[in-house]
Amino acid sequence: MQAWHPQMAARQAPEKTESRKVFGQIRRPVKIFRAGLYARVSTDDQQTIPLQVRVLREYAARRGWTIALQVKEVGSGASQRQLREKLLDAARRREIDVVLVWRLDRWGRSVTDLLSTLQELEHLGVGFVSLTEALDLTTPAGRAMAALLAVFAEFEREILRERVRAGLAHARQNGKKLGRPVTAGIHADQVRKLHRAGVSKAEIARRLQIGRTSVRRILV
């Protein structure tokens, strides 16, 4: 049996204290996410935006995320979310790692719009978290939820297609003509003749009782 010597203990101790394994797995440094915060309210409900911002910042702090960008937008539900593009541009430039929102309807105008932006973020490798719905696309469960959103988005598109087809069928039953008017074939010669005579486009449209757009299209 080999005799124990203090130098042997000195050689063995560092191997134990310097081990980077936890339960047999190599310990990796925790990544600090750069978060982009997006708060949105309608024009009639601007008082809640400070609440959204406060809760979003508190959540980011609990997760240990740094806030790289904060966007506050006010507008009606049907309006284009123009300031939202600032966050998407930051994601495209790889300046943020995760987008944090208060609620899904604050971010997306429709299911289709929501899914489109989420797919782009996923392609960019940027996470997405919605607090109210507890939707966290940085986790496997959250990504499974996104797959369900894709099903609902396709359902929404199909409903819109059905409505369009029903509207066209109803218009035909009522004798309405669909498509562009055949102005070019009927009035083209007259339009060109009047234009060569120096008559303005607005006057040509008035005399022939056609739209100014049709006149301009003929004269292109």
Query: Looking at the structure, do residues 55 and 136 belong to the same domain, yes or no?
Result: yes
Note whether residue 65 is domain-resident. yes
Query: Looking at the structure, do residues 191 and 85 belong to the same domain, yes or no?
Result: no
Query: Looking at the structure, do residues 119 and 196 belong to the same domain, yes or no?
Result: no
Note whether residue 28 is domain-resident. no
Could you give the CA distance from residue 216 to residue 219 in angstroms, rounded to a whole number? 5
pLDDT the model gives residue 23 = 37
CATH of the domain at 188: 1.10.10
Catalytic residue among 42, 79, 116, 200: 42
Residue 38 — pLDDT band, cuts 50, 70, 90? very high
Mean pLDDT confidence for 159-184: 66
Tokens linked to 187 = 């009035």
Could you give the CA distance from residue 175 to residue 179 in angstroms, rounded to a whole number? 13
Residue 10 — pLDDT band, cuts 50, 70, 90? very low
The residue out of 154, 173, 204 marking a domain boundary is 154
Query: Looking at the structure, do residues 59 and 126 belong to the same domain, yes or no?
Result: yes
Query: Looking at the structure, do residues 38 and 143 belong to the same domain, yes or no?
Result: yes
Indicate the helix (H) or strand (E) that contains 168: helix 140-173
Domain encompassing residue 86: 34-154
Query: Looking at the structure, do residues 51 and 149 belong to the same domain, yes or no?
Result: yes
For residue 140, what are the contacts with CB-CB under 8 A and spacing of at least 6?
Answer: none
Residue 17 — pLDDT band, cuts 50, 70, 90? very low
Instruction: Give the number of domains in the chain.
Output: 2
Query: Against a cut of 0.85, is the pTM above it?
Result: no
Query: Looking at the structure, do residues 138 and 56 belong to the same domain, yes or no?
Result: yes
Helices 201-208, 212-219: axis angle to 10 degrees equals 120
E-strand stretches of the chain: 21-22, 25-26, 34-41, 66-74, 98-101, 127-130, 135-136
Note whether residue 21 is domain-resident. no
Query: Looking at the structure, do residues 141 and 197 belong to the same domain, yes or no?
Result: no
130 is catalytic: no
Could you give the CA distance from residue 114 to residue 102 in angstroms, rounded to a whole number? 14
Question: Greater confidence, 127 or 198?
Answer: 127
Q: How far is CA 155 from CA 111, 119, 150, in A?
A: 9, 17, 9
pLDDT digits (tens, 9 = 90+) for 89-116: 999 999 999 999 998 888 887 777 888 8
Query: Looking at the structure, do residues 59 and 148 belong to the same domain, yes or no?
Result: yes
Note whether residue 173 is domain-resident. no
Note whether residue 16 is domain-resident. no
Note whether residue 73 is domain-resident. yes
CATH of the domain at 101: 3.40.50.1390
Tokens linked to 174 = 């009522």
pLDDT digits (tens, 9 = 90+) for 206-218: 888 787 778 877 8
Helices 212-219, 183-196: axis angle to 10 degrees equals 70
